Amino acid sequence: MELVCPAGSLPALKAAVDNGADAVYIGFKDDTNARHFSGLNFNDRKAQKALDYARDRGAKIFVAINTYAQPKGWARWQRAVDLAAELSVDAVIIADLGLLNYAAQRYPQLPLHLSVQGSCTSAEGLKFYHSELGIRRAVLPRVLSLDQVKMVAEQSPVDLEVFGFGSLCIMAEGRCHLSSYVTDQSPNNSGVCSPAKDVRWTQTEEHLESRLNNVVIDRYQAEETAGYPTLCKGRFAVEETIFHALEEPVSLNTLDLIPDLYAAGIKAIKLEGRQRSPAYVAQVVSVWRSALDSFANNPEKFSSKAEWMQRLAKVSEGSQTTLGAYHRPWQ
């Protein structure tokens, strides 16, 4: 299985490649990608450098252009596809139908991957994207159980990529309205679910408080680990009990499922975290590389090592990990 790793900067890209990434996905420096954070991502010159570095070492580069194009900025999304094609990257990761169509018509040679933001969870959907737009791969949303992944994989006309590690997102990606509700911005349109300009952290005598557009998301006691200030991971009062009403701050980790995913015919594992540092990328990629290599060398005897799990927990939200939806027997 191919290991697809995130990079939000050139040093992160180098960390990914040096630690054994087969492919690295990057975004350009604007709102055409779903990690549009200040100071992050690649301008033309850096993208070229990234490509050279990766190619020299036998790694691929994918470019994520995975937000939904807006009428006002359509030229910007077109330009992003043009630039990716000019650089002759190994694939572009797109969610928007119109943009997929533009890329398919204009650059028939450019490999297209359907982004997780496209939120395609059925083989029928994949057949449509394949026959009409010629996508070669799709990234499955993190909401499917392992059995559902197997079912989709059995009939999928294209290669499938699934999430292996990263901040847990509990929505059918591409259909989350939580952040729009609080901040008027969404991952699909603005590339972020807790826009930094709306985030405030305040330390008081008793606790550390996070607010998103002035809505209290959480209050952490002195010894508690903190999380990202996203609405889905906040604590709220429901019938007088205050708790993580939607989800706890936690990261998804599917190291244990490598044999199952392989058996299901999954072609690639995606690690999340383009907003994270080179140190994070180095740590997560090296653990996953060791795990995939150990599985390839001896598939029957594979089991995840405690040391790997510890290293991943250390960089996880809330310092804990979960199998997420993959292990929902009722689903």
Partner 1 sequence: MIKLNPCQHILLPTVKGLAKSCPFPLQKKIAMLFLVPVFEEARLDGDLDFLRDRRIGLAISDIDYQATLRLENGHLALAKSTASEAPTDAIIRGNLSAFIQLANRSEDPDSLFFQRRLCIEGDTDLALEVKNLIDAVDLDELPKWLKQTLSLTQLVDKQFA
Alpha helices per DSSP H over the chain: 10-18, 44-56, 74-86, 97-106, 123-133, 146-155, 178-183, 187-190, 258-263, 278-297, 306-314
* Comparison of 47 and 169: residue with beta carbon closer to ligand SF4: 169
Question: Of 37, 128, 236, 308, which lies in the binding site for partner 1, with binding defined by CB under 8 A?
Answer: 37
Q: How far is the CB of 225 from partner 1 (least distance, A)?
A: 5
- The partner in contact with residue 193, picked from partner 1, ligand SF4, none with C-beta cut-offs of 5 to 8 angstroms by kind, is ligand SF4
For 31, the 3-state DSSP assignment is coil
Phi, psi of 234 (to 5 degrees): -85, 170
Alpha helices per DSSP H over 138-250: 146-155, 178-183, 187-190
The dihedral region occupied by 33, where left means phi > 0, alpha psi between -120 and 50, and beta the remainder, is beta
Placement of tokens 């936690």 in the chain: 250
Is there binding between residue 31 and partner 1 (CB under 8 A)? no
For 39, the 3-state DSSP assignment is coil
Q: How far is the CB of 61 from ligand SF4 (least distance, A)?
A: 25
- In 3D space, the residue among 141, 188, 114, 139 whose CA is nearest the CA of residue 331 turns out to be 141
- Residues in 283-322 at the binding interface with partner 1, rule: CB under 8 A: 283, 314-319
Burial per residue of 68-103, b for 16 or more beta-carbon CB atoms within 10 angstroms, e otherwise: bbeeeeeeebbebbebbbeeebbbbbbbbbebbebb
Q: How far is the CB of 118 from ligand SF4 (least distance, A)?
A: 14
Interface map 228-267 toward partner 1 (x if CB under 8 A): ---------------------x------------------
Binding site for ligand SF4 (CB under 6 A): 169-171, 176, 178-179, 187, 193, 230-232
* Comparison of 121 and 213: residue with beta carbon closer to partner 1: 213
- The partner in contact with residue 164, picked from ligand SF4, partner 1, none with C-beta cut-offs of 5 to 8 angstroms by kind, is none
Q: How far, in Å, CA of 42 to CA of 60, rounded? A: 16
Q: How many CB atoms lie within 10 A of CB 280?
A: 19
Q: How far is the CB of 294 from ligand SF4 (least distance, A)?
A: 30
Q: Is-contact 1 293, C-beta < 8 A?
A: no
Is there binding between residue 70 and partner 1 (CB under 8 A)? no
- The partner in contact with residue 220, picked from ligand SF4, partner 1, none with C-beta cut-offs of 5 to 8 angstroms by kind, is partner 1
The span of 64-72, 202-210, 287-295, 302-310 binding partner 1 (CB under 8 A) equals 202-210
The residues that touch partner 1, with contacts defined as CB under 8 A, are: 8-12, 14, 37-40, 43, 45-46, 195-197, 199-203, 208, 220, 222, 224-227, 249, 275-280, 282-283, 314-319
